[in-house]
Amino acid sequence: MPPLGILIRLYGPIGAGICAGIGLGFLLSRFAPHRDTPQGLYHQVPLRLGRFLFWVGIPLSIVGFMRRADLSGHLYLAPVVAWAAILLGLLCSRLWISAHQIAWSRPTQGSFSLASMLGNTGYIGYPVVLLLPQLGVSVFGWALFYDALGTLLGSYGLGAILAAEMGGQPQSQQWPQQWLNRLRAVGQNPIILAFGLGLGLKAITLPPWLDLGLYRLAWGVVVLSLLLMGLRIQQLSSWQHLHRATVAVVIKMLVLPLAVGLGLTALGVDGAPRLVMTLQAGMPCAFSNLVLAEAYDLDRDLSVTCVGLSSVSLLLTLPLWLWLFSGD
C-alpha cells in the first residue's frame, strides 16, 4: 500500500475516534447539567469511562487480542527496550536541567522528567499498532509486552518513586512500607492480571462464539480508548510552560524513538518488531503522568501541557517513523 494510503487508513479511524470524543466533550460542556461541578456529566463521563477501560475494557481487550497474536519469537526484547527508553528519557531530562542550570522547583523537575520518559503505550499505542495495515493483531504481542512489562511497571514503579522524591506531598510512611505498597499496586493492576490470564487462556480452545465475541469486544474497546483521548484533549485548558513542555516532548517523541529505531537496527532487529517498538517509544506523554502529578503534588500545569502538546504532535511524528523504519 502506498505511504499516503497507509496514513489515510491509520488516521481515518484514529481521527474519527478522537474527533468524536472532542465533539462529545464540547456538547457536554455546553448542554450537560451541572457542567461546572465535579458531579456534572462533563467531568463524570470521561472519569467513569477511564475507570471502565482501566478495570474492565483494556484487560478484556488484552485477552481478546492475545488469542490471535503471535507470541513466538524474542518478545522478551520488548520490555528490555521499553526500560532502556524510559531510563534514556530520565537521563536526557536530568542532563537538560543540569546543563542549563535551570532553577526549577522540584515538583516542576519531576513533571518534566516523567513527561520525558513515560508514554501512552496503552490507550493510544495499542490502537496505532492494531490499525496499521503492515502491523495489526498478529504483532500485538510486541506492543503488549512493551506496555505491560515496560511502561506500566515504569509508570507505577520508577515513576511513582521519582514522583514521591520530587513531589510536594510529605511522605508519612517509611521506605519499606512505601515499596511494599507500590509493589502491591503493580501486582494488583488489572492489566498485569489480564496479561497473565491471556497467556493462560491462549492454549485453551474456547467456543467459537466466545472467541469471536472477545475479539469484537476488544475492537470496541479500541474505539472507546480513542473516544476517551478526545474527551481528555477537549478538557485540556492549560497551555502554560510551553517552552518547557516542548523540550520534554522533543525528548519523548523524537529522541527516544529515534534512539530505539537506530539501536534495534544496529542489533539486527528489523521488520514489524522494530517498527512496533519504535512506535511505542514515540507515543505521546502518558495520562498516568497526570495521575502521578495529582497524587504527589507535582507541577500539574506542566504535566497537562505536555500531554496536550504531545498528543497533537503524534500526527506529525508518525509518518516519520513509518518512513524510516517500515522496511526490512
100-147 pLDDT tens trace: 767 788 899 999 999 999 999 988 898 889 888 888 898 999 999 999
Residue 285: beta bridge partners? Answer: 119
pLDDT of residue 48 exceeding 70: yes
Please compute the mean of the pLDDT values over residues 260-273 and round it to a whole number.
95
Res 3: pLDDT: 57
Residue 272's pLDDT band, with cuts at 50, 70 and 90, is: very high
Please compute the mean of the pLDDT values over residues 182-211 and round it to a whole number.
80
Helix (H, G, I), strand (E, B) or coil at 251: helix
Res 169: pLDDT: 56
pLDDT of residue 6 exceeding 70: no
69-107 pLDDT tens trace: 888 888 999 999 999 999 999 999 999 998 876 778 889
The residue assigned the cell 493492576 is 189
pLDDT of residue 305 exceeding 70: yes
Domain residue spans of the chain = 69-222+238-325
Q: Which of 318, 164, 304 is nearest to 245 (CA)?
A: 304
Residue 26's pLDDT band, with cuts at 50, 70 and 90, is: very high
Res 39: pLDDT: 81
Helix (H, G, I), strand (E, B) or coil at 119: strand
Residue 308: Cβ-neighbour burial (10 angstroms; 0-12, 13-18, 19+): buried
Which grid coordinates are listed for 152? 506500566
Q: Are 107 and 167 in contact (CB under 8 A)?
A: yes
Nearest 5°: phi and psi at 65?
Answer: -75, -30
Which grid coordinates are listed for 272? 514489524
Per-residue CA distances from 211 to 52, 64, 65, 66, 215 (Å): 21, 7, 10, 11, 6
Res 154: pLDDT: 86
Please compute the mean of the pLDDT values over residues 194-222 and round it to a whole number.
88
Res 69: pLDDT: 84
Q: Are 277 and 216 in contact (CB under 8 A)?
A: no
Which runs of consecutive H residues, i.e. helices, occur in 118-241?
A: 125-131, 140-146, 152-153, 159-166, 175-187, 190-202, 208-235
Per-residue CA distances from 270 to 66, 129, 264, 266, 322 (Å): 22, 16, 7, 9, 13
> Residues near 190 by Cβ (< 8 Å), separated by ≥ 6?
54, 55, 56, 58, 59
Residue 285's pLDDT band, with cuts at 50, 70 and 90, is: very high
Q: Are 32 and 42 in contact (CB under 8 A)?
A: yes
Q: Are 63 and 194 in contact (CB under 8 A)?
A: yes
Which grid coordinates are listed for 239? 497551555
pLDDT of residue 236 exceeding 80: no
**Which of 37-46, 91-100, 137-146, 291-300 shows the lowest per-residue confidence on average (mean pLDDT)?**
291-300
Please compute the mean of the pLDDT values over residues 272-290 and round it to a whole number.
92
pLDDT of residue 265 exceeding 90: yes
Please compute the mean of the pLDDT values over residues 162-188 and round it to a whole number.
67
pLDDT of residue 175 exceeding 70: no
| Cα–Cα distance for residue pair 42/25, rounded to 1 Å | 7
The residue assigned the cell 509486552 is 145
Per-residue CA distances from 87 to 95, 126, 150 (Å): 12, 22, 11
Pick the CATH number of 69-222+238-325 from 1.20.1530.20, 1.10.287.180, 1.10.760.10, 1.20.1070.10: 1.20.1530.20
pLDDT of residue 19 exceeding 60: yes
Q: For the chain, what percent of residues have pLDDT higher than 70?
A: 88
Please compute the mean of the pLDDT values over residues 247-267 and round it to a whole number.
97
Please compute the mean of the pLDDT values over residues 220-244 and round it to a whole number.
80
DSSP code, position 201: H
Which runs of consecutive H residues, i.e. helices, occur in the chain?
A: 3-31, 41-52, 58-66, 77-99, 106-117, 125-131, 140-146, 152-153, 159-166, 175-187, 190-202, 208-235, 242-250, 256-266, 271-281, 288-296, 300-325
Residue 53's pLDDT band, with cuts at 50, 70 and 90, is: confident
**Which of 61-70, 163-172, 213-222, 241-250 shows the lowest per-residue confidence on average (mean pLDDT)?**
163-172
Q: Which of 306, 215, 198 is nearest to 252 (CA)?
A: 306
Nearest 5°: phi and psi at 101?
Answer: 45, 50
Euclidean distance between the first and the last CA atom of the chain, given in angstroms as a whole number: 15
